[in-house]
Amino acid sequence: MIDADLATRLRTAGLPWRPSDGDRFTIPGGELAEDVFVVAEMVIQVQEVPGGASVFKFNGTTEWALDSIDSRRVLWLPREEQLREALGERFDALAAVPGGYAVTLTDGSRHLDIDAERAYARAVLHTLEAT
């Protein structure tokens, strides 16, 4: 899983997110900063509010102290397949290398990290920062 620092860099660079079931997120800057939550209709539901924003509603007893939170306060932790999808046709290859994985893009750039998900994240960050 990518860490909060890399996820923050992706968000700052402009990676768009429309929350959906199965998405992972954290709530930075507080007691819950180390916890990872998963959007699931039965437990954490995303509700659209006027103005195009959304709120994350915590249902049931799982997070009894937290009723809801504005989507701008949460940090998305995209999954490997979501990051690969974000690369689209720019993706060329994923390869195991000593110490981790490398993602190669059609522009010839290689992006290395300790696991495939993080390597994909670095490649997406490269594409976002290049535009």
Q: Return the pLDDT at 70.
A: 83
- Between 3 and 67, name the one with better pLDDT: 3
Among the residue ranges 13-22, 31-40, 78-87, the one predicted with the least confidence is: 31-40
What is the spatial distance between Cα 109 and Cα 64, in angstroms, rounded to a whole number?
46
pLDDT at residue 52 greater than cutoff 90: no
The candidate with the shortest Cα–Cα distance to 27, out of 18, 37, 16, is 37
pLDDT above 70 for 42: no
Assess whether pLDDT exceeds 60 at residue 73. Answer: yes
pLDDT beyond 80 at 64: no
129 and 15 Cβ atoms separated by less than 8 Å: no
More confident residue, 58 or 15: 15
pLDDT band at 77 (very low <50, low <70, confident <90, very high): very high
**Rounded to whole angstroms, how far apart are CA atoms 59 and 25?**
16
Does residue 57 carry a pLDDT above 60? yes
Query: What is d(CA 26, CA 66) in angstroms, rounded to the nearest whole number?
Result: 13
Helix 116-130 crosses helix 80-87 at what angle (to 10 degrees)? 30
Domain boundaries, the chain: 18-76, 80-130
Burial of 41 (0-12, 13-18, 19+ CB in 10 A): exposed
Short-list 31, 25, 18, CA closest to 43: 25
**HSE (side-chain half, CA atoms, 13 Å) at 105:** 24
Q: Identify the three-state secondary structure at position 21.
A: coil
